Amino acid sequence: NLRRPAVRMLAGLLQPGTRAGVWTFARWVNNLVPVAEVDAAWKKRTQSLSKQISSPGQFTNIEDVIDRASRSWTGQPTTHARHLVLLTDGMVDVSKKPAANAQSRTRILEELLPRLKAAGVKVHTIALSARADHELMKRLAGETGGWYQQVDQADQLQRVFLKMFETVGKPDAIPLQGNRFTVDGSISEATVLVFSKPDSP
């Protein structure tokens, strides 16, 4: 369930000029937050809808979610970088029939991966369990110039999302020195992200 605050954190950090959307998937794919310009309304909607993120399905239709999330991307990007973040705890699992699963995995590698590369999409993959298809996730990330990360403990997820945001969004940041920081007077808005242990001062 830490996927929920992780998505809320990411939504809060995304900067104006970004377009983003959120999909959830099991057997079926649900476009939880349609792709749109990131503004205050988009952030509020995403943070509200994040409460619906759950694990109701038994299957893991990675092929369909990658296809749907990237379908509108054609040709090399001219104005914006394209990033797709795949967060999953499973294998390619679309059926109880092993042959159908193998065929889906093959289509990901032989049809979707070339399409993503041709569209200049960087795929970042986050594996939430030891049983995830790490080989597939490493290949998707490696061949598109993205990065792969395994999360062994749920409480690492928000930090991984933060690392991803820092890599992808390249935000302006200021250093923390002596447990203090200074914001220039010309800055009208700043986001402060604090990680703390339970019961810490």
Q: What pLDDT was estimated at residue 68?
A: 95
Contact of 26 with 58, CB cutoff 8 Å: yes
Q: What is the pLDDT of residue 154?
A: 66
Residue entry with tokens 């988009």: 42
For residue 14, what is the DSSP state?
A: P
Per-residue pLDDT of the chain (201 residues), as tens digits, is 677 888 888 888 888 888 999 998 888 899 999 999 999 899 999 988 888 888 777 788 999 999 999 999 989 888 889 999 998 887 898 888 999 999 999 999 999 999 999 999 999 999 888 888 999 999 999 999 998 998 877 678 778 878 877 777 777 788 888 888 889 889 887 878 777 778 877
pTM: 0.83
pLDDT score for 88: 87
Cβ neighbours of 137 (radius 10 Å): 22
Q: Which residues contact 66 (CB under 8 A, 6 or more apart)?
A: 84, 86, 108, 112, 116, 123
Q: Are 155 and 177 in contact (CB under 8 A)?
A: no
Contact 146, 122 (CB under 8 A): yes
The number of C-alpha atoms within 13 Å of 135 and in the hemisphere containing its C-beta is 5
